[in-house]
């Protein structure tokens, strides 16, 4: 998904840069024509081409910056060696703070995840879309990691 | 002169359009690129059992699943070593089912384990309705700890 978006972005940027270059060439050609005709050339006040160059440079800087952000946002590659503790990407913390059904919200607000709590939430959790389910677990895992949710293990008598 | 002015305006418009597209695409990419991770640790509490047969061997164990200090569930694991796999490859098939503390939340990981360094790789092959987020997620780790990228 990310690779496809990256390729699409690169293609669009490439196309736009190519267009920009075409425009500059067109301007240069027009200036040459005007000069040959001994007409007053607007580049006598070189503000416009300088503005274009500056805009182009700024655009390139913005592109480089955004590409860096994209790489950082992509996170760790799938086969990267895992870290020793539970990790929920901090960048997605804002995404995890969302509301679910009243039963789930109330259960999570209580902060105790025992067998009953899991069972009570199950009916609503199983109805969730994949994305909503992902957000739910991110919130739960984040809560456990931060100590906001206490997981109570069941009675440990062996089967 | 008007022509020159038009070209300049057109160029500026295109620059603005390019910037807008870049910002929109970056925002979209950033939203969809977040790979959440879940790292779980395994603590064996049953007896590691090896069963040899003519084709290879089974190795079975089970225990607790930790997320940090919290016991979030239990696991049962089976490994299959086949004599058909040469020693130079030295890998076994592994299957770990994580049974959550409560409710009917479960998921199963399938993959391989290297007998050389203990590394495990694979994906979530099955998940209950409560764990749809884990569908098609890959994992990697060691014998006692793995990370799921969901």
Grouping H, G, I as helix, E, B as strand and the rest as coil, residue A100 is coil
- The ipTM is 0.77
pTM over 0.80: no
Q: Sort out which chain A residues have CB atoms less than 8 A from B102's CB and list them.
A: 113-119, 154
Distance of CA A104 to the CA centre of its chain: 27
How many beta-carbon contacts under 8 Å exist across A and B? 192
Question: How many whole angstroms separate alpha carbon A130 and alpha carbon A117?
Answer: 21
**Gap from B93 CA to chain A (nearest CA, Å):** 18
Check A136 against B133: CB less than 8 A apart: yes
**Gap from B54 CA to chain A (nearest CA, Å):** 31
pLDDT in tens, B87-127: 999 999 999 999 999 999 999 999 999 999 999 999 999 99
The per-residue b/e assignment along B8-36, b for 16 or more CB within 10 angstroms, e otherwise, is beebeebbeebbeebeebbeebbeebebb
Proportion of chain B above pLDDT 70, given as a percent: 81
* pLDDT per residue as tens, chain A (159 positions): 567 777 887 788 888 888 888 878 877 777 766 655 555 444 444 444 455 555 655 565 566 566 656 655 655 444 333 343 444 444 444 444 678 999 999 999 999 999 999 999 999 999 999 999 999 999 999 999 999 999 998 887 666
């Amino acid at each position: 998904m990310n690779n496809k978006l990256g390729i699409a972005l690169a293609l669009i940027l490439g196309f736009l840069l190519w267009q920009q270059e075409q425009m500059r060439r067109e301007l240069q050609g027009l200036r040459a024509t005007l000069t040959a005709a001994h007409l007053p050339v607007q580049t006598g006040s070189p503000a416009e081409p300088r503005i274009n160059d500056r805009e182009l440079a700024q655009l390139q800087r913005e592109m480089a910056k955004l590409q860096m952000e994209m790489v950082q946002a992509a996170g760790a590659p799938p086969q990267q060696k895992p870290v020793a503790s539970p990790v929920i990407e901090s960048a997605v913390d804002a995404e995890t703070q969302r509301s679910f059904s009243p039963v789930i919200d109330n259960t999570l607000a209580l902060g105790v995840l025992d067998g009953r709590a899991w069972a009570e939430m199950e009916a609503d959790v199983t109805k969730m879309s994949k994305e909503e389910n992902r957000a739910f677990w991110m919130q739960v895992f984040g809560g456990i990691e931060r100590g906001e949710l206490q997981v109570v293990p069941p009675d440990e008598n062996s089967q | 002169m008007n022509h020159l002015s038009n070209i300049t305006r057109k160029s500026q418009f295109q620059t603005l359009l390019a910037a807008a597209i870049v910002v929109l695409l970056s925002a979209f990419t950033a939203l969809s690129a977040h790979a959440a991770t879940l790292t779980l640790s395994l603590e064996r509490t049953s007896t590691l059992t090896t069963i040899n047969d003519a084709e290879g061997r089974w190795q079975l164990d089970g225990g607790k699943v930790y997320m940090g200090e919290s016991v979030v569930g239990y696991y049962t694991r089976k490994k299959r070593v086949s004599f058909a796999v040469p020693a130079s490859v030295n890998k076994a098939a592994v299957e770990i089912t994580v049974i959550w503390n409560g409710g009917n939340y479960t998921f199963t990981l399938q993959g391989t384990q290297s007998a050389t360094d203990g590394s495990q790789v694979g994906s979530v092959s099955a998940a209950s309705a409560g764990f749809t987020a884990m569908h098609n997620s890959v994992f990697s780790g060691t014998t006692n700890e793995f990370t799921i990228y969901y």
